[in-house]
A and B are shown apart, each in its own frame.
Chain A
Amino acid sequence: MSDHDCKGCKEYEGLTRRNFVGLTAGLAAAVAVPGWLPRVVYAASESSSRDVIVSIFLRGGADALTLCPPHGEAAYYDLRPGLAIARPDSSAAANARAIDLDGFFGLPQAMRGLKDAFEDGYLAICHATGVKNSSRSHFDAMRFMEVGQGGAPASLQTGWLGRHLQATAPSLKDGILRAVGIGFGLQRTLVGAPQALPIADLANFGLAGPSGSRTRRQDALAEMYAAFDDPLKSSAATTFRTIDVLKKIGFAGYRPSGGAVYPEDEFGYSLRSAAALIRAEVGVEAVAIDLGGWDTHDFQGPVDGHMAYLMESLANGLGAFYRDLFAANCRRFVAVTMSEFGRVAFENGSAGTDHGTGGLMMALGGAVRGGQVLGSWPGLEREQLVDRQDLEVTTDYRDVLWEILDQRLQSPSAKQVFLDGGYRPQAVGLI
C-alpha cells in the first residue's frame, strides 16, 4: 500500500514505510505456511494499490431478518410476532422501531452505529446471501464458507483469503506480515496464506514473563536460535522482527481519528488494533476477526436482549472503524461481514430462532457503493421459503467476496481463489 491515498496514515506516530523496510530488509521467510498444503507458485511482482481486507465472521449463524429487517414485508410480522423489529412508523417504543433505509428494509436501533456509514454511501448490505446447498451444522457451514466452497462435501483445507494471498504478490516487498488472524489459532479463512500469524492481542505480541529480565532473555533466545538450524532459526528471526514491528506501532497508545470511540469490548478492541495496523502500513493486507454469540435459539432479544447487545458491539465497532479511518483519509480498506447461515424465518417457542439458510453480508469501505440493500429479495410468503421455513439464498456468498477480491485486491482469477471450475461469479453491484 505504498502509494495509496492513505495520507493521514503516514504521519501516524512518525511511522513511515521506510522505517519498516529498513527494519525488515532481506527477510523473506514465510511464517506458518503449513507444510502439508499444496505448494503454490507465488506471484512475482509486488503491487501497491490494493485495499486491505478485514474479514469479519459472525459465528453462530446471525439472524439476517433482525440485522436488516424487511419492514415492508407483511409476512415478516406474521412469522415473527414476538421478535420482529417494528415498522419505522409504528406506535411501538422508539427503541423497538426500525431505522428506515430504503422504504422496505431497515436497521434495528441496536445497529444505529452504522447509520452514518450507510447514509454517507460507504456501507452496503447484501441480503439473502450465503452458501447454496449448505448445512444446518455450524461446523460444516462455517467450513464451507471459510474454505470458500459452494457446499458439500468440503474437500478444501485452505481458506479463500489464504489462497488469494498465495496467488498475489505482497503489497510491500519486504513486509514481514501479510495477514493477521486476531484470535487463538489462525482462522480457516486465512489458512494457506504466506506470512500469516494468529495474534490474540496485537498490543502484547512479545515475550511473556517478568519485564525486568525480558531484554536479557530475548537476547539469550536470539543467540541460541541464531546458532541453530532452519527452520527454527529463521522462524525465530521472523518472530523477533515481527515483535519489533508490532512494538513500534504502539497499539496501546493509539489515538483514533475523527473522535471515533471504539466500544470497550473484545470486538471493538480488535477493530481498534486493526485500524492501527492498517494505518501503520507495515504491509498487512488482510485481517480476520471473529465475533461470536449469534446462535440465538432462545431469548434472542433483538431490541434489548442478547442479540441487541451483540448488534451494538458489531455496529458501534464498525462505525468507529469507519469514522477513524475516513477521518485519517485512509480509505483503502474494505471490511466484509459474513455468518455461516441465517436463521429460520419464523420464531420458535423459546423466543428465539433455529438454524436456517439465507443470511446477510455487509461491506464497508472507501470503494463500496454503499447506501443500498443489494441482492434479489426472495420474499417471506410460505411458498417463497425454502422448505417452507427458510429465507432462500439468492446471492452466492462467493459473488460478494469475489467482487471485492477482483475489483479491489487485484486477485488473479476466481478459479484460483475458489478452486471450483463450475463456479461463475455473478455481479452484485457492491463495488
Chain B
Amino acid sequence: MTAASRTPWRRRPIIELILAAIYRALYSPRQLFERMTIFWTDHFNIHIFSDLAFLLKPTDDREVVRAHAMGSFPELLSASAHSPAMLSYLTNDSNVKGAPNENYARELMELHTLGADNGYTENDVKEVARCFTGWAYQGLRAGSSVGRFSFNAGQHDNGEKRVLGRTIAAGGGVSDGERVLEILAGHPNTARFIAEKLLRYFWRYEPRPSAISKVANVYMSTGGDLRAMLRSVLHKSRVGSAKPKLKRPLHLMVSAMRALSAELENPRYLIEQLLITGHLPFDWPPPNGYPDSEGYWSGLVLPRWNFASTLPRRERSGIRTDISLLDPAHSVARLVDTMDAVLFNGTMSAETATELTRFLESGNVNKPRIRDAIGLAVGSPQFQQY
C-alpha cells in the first residue's frame, strides 16, 4: 500500500507501535524477552494495516503478546482468542449463529495450536467455528469498555458440538469457545508444534525429532510453561550444536546496531530499509506471520549490503555508531581483530578476515576507509547468519 492510502489518523498509532518495537529491539536489556515478543508477534500475526488493527493491535501487543511472552502458552492463547484485534483480524467478531465464519477456527488450529493438517478435520473446523459464535468486542457506544471483549449470547449457537472427538454439551454459551481453547492447549500436537517452532527459531531450521520430543514433553509436563520450554530449547548442549541460520532483515539491522552501540537519532532511514527488505514490524498481511525460512529471505542481498555500508555514515543513516575503538593509527591486524571482537564475538572466519585485511591494506587507513570496512563486515555473508 502506498503512503497516501494510509490516512494520517490511522498512521499515528501504527508508526508509534512500529517505533516502539524497533526501540525495544535496539535498547531493551531483556533481549530474550524481546526475541520472544517477536516470535509471538509472528505466531499470532495481526496485520497492522488491516481494517481496525491500527486501533486494536497496540492493546493486543501490550496485553496479549508482551504480557504473556514468557508466561504460559494456554494463557497466551486464551488472551489472543479474546483479543479484539484478533477477533477483528480473523473476523471471529462476525461469526454468528446460523452463519458461522470459519476463519478464526481454521487458523486457530492450523497456525496457533495443532499445525496444518495435524489432527483435525474439516468437520472440526466447522464445529469449532460454532463454538465461537457470538464472540465479539464492545463497539464505540460502549463507553469506557469500548474495545473490550464481549459475548453476544443472542448470536451464539447453543446446540451440542463435537470437537476433536469430544462432546461439548448444549447450552455452554461463552464457555464453548473456552473449552475449545483448553482442548487445543492440552493437545500433544500443540506441544510438538510449539516446541518445533521454538527450536527452529532459536536453534536450527530443521530441528531433530528427538529434540522436538524433549521440548514437547516439557510443555506437557508443565502445562505449557514457556520459561521451562526455553530452558530446554536453549540448553547448552543444544546451543553447542546449533546450525547457522540466516538473520531476518530486522535481526540483521538490530544486531549490527547493538554491536556498534548505535544510537538511533532519526528512524526514517531504518524504517525505509525495513520497507525495502519487506520486514517492517506488524506489516505481514496473511495470518501466518513473517516466515522463518532461509529461502524466503535470502533473495534480496543488495539491501543488506546497502544497509551495512550506510549504517556507519550518520549523515545518511540517522544512526550514530560508536567506532572509537577503531583508531586509524592502529595496525590493520589490530583493526581486524577489533572488528572480530565487536561484530563476530571472536568467531570471524578466515575468508572474512582475509578480505577485510586486503581491503584495509589497499590504501591509506583513515576514518572513511574504516567505515567502508565496517560496511563490508556487516555486509559479509558470515554476519548475515547467527
Contact = CB atoms under 8 A, between A and B. Distances in A.
Given A186-B278, A209-B313, A217-B376, A32 B299 contact: yes
A8 B303 CA distance: 34
B51 A232 contact: no
Given A36-B293, A216-B362, A217-B359, A138 B1 contact: yes
Nearest to B295: A35
B51 A157 contact: no
A246 to B, nearest CB: 11
B375 interface: yes
Interface residues of B, number: 51
Interface in A167-192: 184-186, 188
Interface residues of A, number: 52
A290 interface: yes
Contacts of B296: 34-36
Contacts of A213: 368-369, 372
B376 A157 contact: no
Contact of B381 (A188, A225, A290): A225
B372 A34 contact: no
A220 B286 contact: no
A207 to B, nearest CB: 6
A390 B112 CA distance: 39
Contacts of A200: 276
Contacts of A44: none
Given A220-B355, A235-B298, A208 B3 contact: no
Contact of A184 (B272, B285, B358): B272
Contact of B376 (A31, A220, A228): A220
A221 B384 CA distance: 12
Interface in A215-232: 216-217, 220-221, 223-225, 227-228, 231-232
Contact of B2 (A36, A59, A137, A233): A59
B352 interface: yes
A207 B368 CA distance: 16
B163 interface: no
Given A33-B295, A216-B359, A292 B309 contact: no
Nearest to A232: B381
A107 interface: no
Interface in B356-386: 356, 358-359, 362, 368-369, 372, 375-376, 379-382, 384
Contact of A59 (B4, B313, B375): B4
A136 to B, nearest CB: 11
Contacts of A217: 309, 359, 372, 375-376
A220 B281 CA distance: 32
A224 B351 contact: yes
A12 interface: no
A35 B103 CA distance: 24
Given A216-B362, A232-B298, A59 B1 contact: yes
A294 B299 CA distance: 32
Contact of A224 (B278, B285, B309, B355): B355
B20 interface: no
A17 to B, nearest CB: 24
Contact of A210 (B4, B103, B359, B368): B368
A63 B168 CA distance: 51
Interface in B79-106: 103
A34 B2 contact: no
Interface in A252-300: 290, 292-295
Interface in B297-311: 298-302, 305-306, 309-310
A184 B275 contact: yes
A205 interface: yes
A34 B50 CA distance: 22
B278 to A, nearest CB: 5
Given A216-B359, A292-B3, A295-B7, A231 B294 contact: yes
6 contacts: A185-B275, A207-B309, A213-B368, A213-B369, A216-B359, A232-B381
Given A32-B299, A231-B299, A243-B302, 5 more contacts: A59-B4, A157-B286, A198-B276, A221-B380, A224-B355
Interface of A: 30-36, 59-60, 137-140, 142-143, 153, 157, 184-186, 188, 197-198, 200, 205-210, 213, 216-217, 220-221, 223-225, 227-228, 231-233, 235-236, 239, 243, 290, 292-295
